[in-house]
Amino acid sequence: MTKVPDDFPHDVAPAALAGAQPKLAARMIDGQFVVGLTEEERLDRWQICEDLALQLMVPARKDAAKYPQKTHDVVLGRIGDAIVGKDWCSVVEMNWIIARLRELLRW
């Protein structure tokens, strides 16, 4: 079985619960309260994000070649802006994807 990297987010959609008292957002799964993603859900999210990072290598390289005056950080920022606009993933996943893309491109 594929191992999810330790740096991949555990809680991709933190809950916002109203009220003055502290609260813990949890789900009941198979008789147990689960906070954040299950290991299976986390694996699924990671596979989606890893695939997206691999696919984004081509447009990132094209953008860097088309605008050689732009730094790699600017190119990655433009990619990040495009991801946010698509609503494909959470903000923490998008940050992971950009970091992974930087790693894959050795930027």
Q: What is the dihedral of CA 55, 59, 65, 71, to 10 degrees?
A: -90
Residue 8 pLDDT class (50, 70, 90 cuts): very high
Tell me the whole-structure pTM to 2 decimals. 0.81
| pLDDT tens per residue, range 9-41 | 987 666 666 777 776 777 788 888 777 788 888
Are 79 and 40 in contact by the 8 Å Cβ rule? The answer is no
DSSP 43-69: HHHHHHHHHHHHHHHHHHHHHHHH-TT
Q: What is the pLDDT of residue 26?
A: 73
Q: What is the dihedral of CA 86, 91, 94, 99, to 10 degrees?
A: 160
| pLDDT tens per residue, range 56-69 | 999 999 999 999 99
Contacts with 29 (C-beta within 8 Å, 6 or more apart), sequence order: 38
